[in-house]
Chains A and B, each alone.
Chain A
Amino acid sequence: MPDKLITEEKRVFMTGNEVVAWAAMAAGAEIMYGYPITPQNEIMHYWTRLAPKYNRRFLQTEDELSAGFTTLGGVMAGRKAFTATAGPGNTLMQEPLSMAEAMRLPTVTIIQQRGGPSTATVIYSQQEVTMTTFGGNGEGLRIVYSTANHQELFDYTIKAFNVAWKYRFPTFILGDGYQAKMRESLTIYDPEQRGIEFVPAEPFVGKPGTPGVDREPGHYRNTYNVEEELYDVLQEFFADYEKMVPEVVEYHSFDTEDADVVVLSHGVVSRGAKEAVEILRKEGKKVGYFRPITLRPLPEKELKELATKAKKLLVVESAQGQFGKLIKNAIYGGTAEFLTLYKPGVGITTEEIISRVEEIL
């Protein structure tokens, strides 16, 4: 049985869901637990076609609660396990994923956002930002990458497995219906050939030896008897999280130094934003571009800096201010005027962004 799907670097033309399945294979993911929901279905379709040929496994569960909890079980058994969902499935998945936060389990979850609230549309939105970054009861101790194109879907899916197992916080790829369904060209590669080292998976349960005889038993819980006990555990988690932040935070920005207006966006919308800023710059307008790649943790230091240097910030997103809320929180105390272009559940074009910038310049 071959152990590698990708043996050499190649240009390919694929849908985003196919990219995710291939990237998970390349990252050494061993088992996927999943439940169908549009627009992420084809991740499972491709995975189930490839898995038996490469000694990987799959289970279709009865719902997303189960897909999430079986993923936790797979991780605890020491496998690189993952799952994928969207919309109302994401809602259900918050219960297992808050347990992943509580137990510091390195789960990887792909979210291909669709419209909301509730079932809404099966197509596209950026409305799962709040839920993916801070969903579930708890404090949002997670890592969330918001990808903008298929190359990033590939790169960051691979990265997600490594980051999850290194820092032991649940890790998410936040894509969307456009990224899931459209075809685009990208370069696929064997991560090892590029010098990417894999962080090995380790079992939480079922280690060698007899518990209580040769080793301590692993006793994992997410319930505490007293408030202080929980408080102490959380302090450790917060400290670990803060320590990790500078190592995982990622963003992309240009032309912000002298900008009067900085356009802020994330995910697929930043493609239009990038083009808009480039066009406006060519026309000699002082416009800059900033895009957090990690929505959780956010590049807060850089955002704060922007908000004191630029005159205006324009937040553009396909939601009614979910990303905007994250930004506002991060820039509190900054002097820049906060402006928005919100279009919940629909795509945003370069032209729309250009005209909005011209309006406020």
Chain B
Amino acid sequence: MSIQPPMPKCWRVETKPHKFCPGCGHGLVLKALGEAIDELGIQDRVVFGCDIGCSLLAWDFFNVDSIQTHHGRTTPVMTGVKRANPDLICVAYMGDGGGYAIGSQHLVNAAARNEKITVLLALNTVYAMTGGQMAPTTMPGQKAETSPYGRDPELTGYPTQGPEMVAAICREGAYVARGTTANLKQLKNYIKKALQNQMDGNGFSFVEALAACPTNWRTNAEKTWNFVEKEMPKYFKVGEKKVPGAEQREGQ
């Protein structure tokens, strides 16, 4: 008899095992989100929105109301829900392609308007669902289907620094952090703070999570983990980028 690892309470048992590839980062990010929802006791109020990209596989993942939408448009859908019913806790979940390329204007403007929603973004440095093309976050030298000789920043620029960008746009009341699936406890903590920030009505909250895509990276377990733990943080620095109240403290 095998012992099943404990699932978050708000996960939907009927749809497990989930449909992500083995070793995929999405499952871990959603686990951290699930535990955060459990610990905050908000399963009855959360609306989960997911994008196109591998995140769409989470459309029936939770026992929470969920809306799967178009590529890059999860942020405005959740904004629309939140504006129409501010009692709900709205989570927009997307990949780095959805958030930083096709849907970047929505992310930027939701942040600028300080929309009281939580955006959770899984960064795997590729467009995964469409087969591993270059993403805005593909690292210099990294090979992808549309950068077969390695990304050349001279031609295609440097990886988007999402949380740094969002933190620069946001005003007082926003919460912005970058976590990693290599440190799930910390990631869960960031997600909890991001949700709490929305519950407190403070403002926009945004968490990026470094996540693996072994399928498109074509890496084995060891190399996958090495990339997430060692390579990705070279460009994507883990930590909190903006915390409500911190600005005042700095000035004291």
Q: Which residues of A contact B (CB under 8 A)?
A: 30-31, 33, 57, 59, 61-63, 65-66, 69-79, 81, 95-96, 99, 203-207, 209-213, 217-223
Q: How far is the CA of A204 from the CA of B81 in the complex (A)?
A: 10
Partner of B81, one of A205, A207, A212: A205
Is B68 touching A73 in the complex (CB atoms < 8 A)?
no
The answer to whether B85 touches A77, judged by C-beta atoms less than 8 angstroms apart, is yes
Q: CA–CA, A207 to B78, complex, Å? A: 16
Chain A residues, CB < 8 A from B43: 210-213
> A77 and B106: CB pair below 8 A?
no
Q: Which chain A residue lies CB-closest to B50?
A: A221
Q: Contact at A59–B83, with CB atoms within 8 Å?
A: yes
Give the complex CA separation of A69 and B63 in angstroms.
23
> A57-B83, A77-B88 are known contacts. Are A211 and B44 too (CB-CB below 8 A)?
yes
Q: How far is the CB of A168 from chain B (nearest CB, A)?
A: 16
CB-based contact A203/B85 at 8 Å: yes
Complex contacts, A203 vs chain B, CB 8 Å: 85
Closest residue of chain A to B109 (Cβ to Cβ) is: A62
Shortest CB-to-CB span from B96 to chain A, Å, is 19
- Cβ of B45 < 8 Å from any Cβ of A? yes
Chain B residue, CB-CB nearest to A208: B44
Given A211-B63, A211-B64, A219-B66: A78 touches B56 (CB 8 Å cut-off): no
Interface size on B, residues (CB 8 A): 36
A-B CB contact pairs (8 Å), 15 listed: A59-B79, A61-B76, A62-B109, A66-B76, A70-B79, A70-B83, A74-B84, A95-B73, A206-B45, A210-B44, A211-B43, A211-B63, A213-B43, A220-B66, A221-B59
A204–B73 CA distance with the chains assembled, in angstroms: 18
Interface 0/1 of B89-112, CB less than 8 Å to A:
000000000000000011011000
Task: Encode B49-65 as 1/0 by CB contact (under 8 A) with A.
Answer: 00010001001101111
* Residues of B near any A CB (own CB < 8 A): 10, 12, 43-45, 47, 52, 56, 59-60, 62-70, 73, 76-85, 87-88, 105-106, 108-109
CA–CA, A317 and B67, complex, Å:
40
A102: shortest Cβ distance to chain B, in Å? 10
Query: Which of A30, A61, A95, A211 is in CB contact (< 8 Å) with B84?
Result: A30
Knowing A70-B77, A76-B67, A210-B44 are in contact, say whether A217-B12 is a contact too (CB < 8 A).
yes
In the bound complex, what is the Cα–Cα distance between A66 and B56 (angstroms)?
A: 19
* Residues in B neighbouring A223, C-beta threshold 8 A: 52, 56, 59, 68
B85 and A70 within 8 A (CB)? no
Residues of B within 8 A of A61 (CB): 76, 79, 109
Tell me how far the C-beta of B185 lies from the nearest C-beta in chain A, rounded to whole angstroms. Answer: 25
Could you tell me the distance in whole angstroms from the C-beta of A48 to the nearest C-beta in chain B?
Answer: 14
Distance (whole angstroms) from the CB of A267 to the closest CB of chain B: 29
Residues of A near B12 (CB, < 8 A) are: 212, 217
Residues of A within 8 A of B45 (CB): 206
* A71-B238 Cα distance, complex, nearest whole Å: 35
User: Closest approach, in angstroms, between the C-beta of B178 and any C-beta of chain A?
Assistant: 24
Please determine whether B70 and A99 come into contact, CB atoms closer than 8 angstroms. Answer: yes
Task: Report chain A residues within 8 Å CB of B79.
Answer: 59, 61, 66, 70, 73
Specify the chain A residue showing the minimal Cβ separation from B68. A221
Cβ distance B12 to chain A, nearest Cβ, rounded Å:
6
Residue in A66, A212, A218 whose CB lies within 8 Å of B10? A212
Q: Which residues of A contact B59 (CB under 8 A)?
A: 219-221, 223
Of B44, B62, B66, B81, which one neighbours A73 at CB under 8 angstroms? Answer: B81
CB distance from B34 to the nearest CB of A (A): 12
Residues of B within 8 A of A222 (CB): 68-70
Closest to B41 in A: A210
Nearest opposing residue in chain A for B11, CB measure: A212
Complex Cα gap A61–B10 (Å): 32
Task: List chain B residues, Cβ under 8 A from A76.
Answer: 67, 77, 80-81
